Amino acid sequence: MPSSEPLVVGVIFPAKKIARLQEVLNVEEDGVRFVLIDLEAATPTGASVTDPELEAAAQRFAARNGPLDALLHKLAHDMVFAGLGDQSAANRVQLVQLFLQRHPSVRVVDPIDSVRLLTDRHAVCKRLKSMEQNGDSRTQSFKVPSFYEVGTTAQFQKLQEEVDTGHSRLPLICKSVEACGALIGVTP
């Protein structure tokens, strides 16, 4: 009986995560082969990368990595930094999006638009609160705790007043809005 082709999964992970994957990369096991994609090397650099340069990079990306069946990525960090004006991060995200547009048969684990939402904690909380309020209370199995986005000194002072008057209770969990593991906008 002839063996079937393995399912090829392209992996785009930060360097610190790759060390844990070394033993499974480029090894076929149980009909699956994981292929490391070096997104840094594949992406054109510079502040003014043109569409033709990105298109050429997407073609090289496809040629270098061969046909992929699926793509597993950790692009949250790049997505957050792209939104904050980091052009290199924006180029990497654009390259992956262009590759996926040109190869619609590649399945994406964690679609980019879903990850984009999840990198903004406040947007996630608002979406969950909306689901909670519009859901069927008989079948709904979650409750969203109170949440605040504090972006100004005035908002911080208002939150302090709410805690002082008992309208908001301690403990408060304070996190950056960006959910990517980077310390952005956090001041001691």
pLDDT confidence band for 188 (50 / 70 / 90): very low
Q: Residue 133 is inside which H or E element, if any? A: helix 121-134
Distance separating alpha carbons of residues 161 and 153, to the nearest angstrom: 12
What's this model's pTM, rounded to 2 decimal places? 0.73
**Which residue reads 């992929």 in tokens?**
68
Distance separating alpha carbons of residues 8 and 75, to the nearest angstrom: 19
The pLDDT tens digits of the residues spanning 153-166 come to 999 999 899 989 98
Q: Which CATH number fits domain 7-117: 3.40.50.2300, 3.40.50.11370, 1.20.1290.10, 1.10.760.10?
A: 3.40.50.11370
**Do residues 78 and 178 touch, judged by C-beta distance below 8 A?**
no
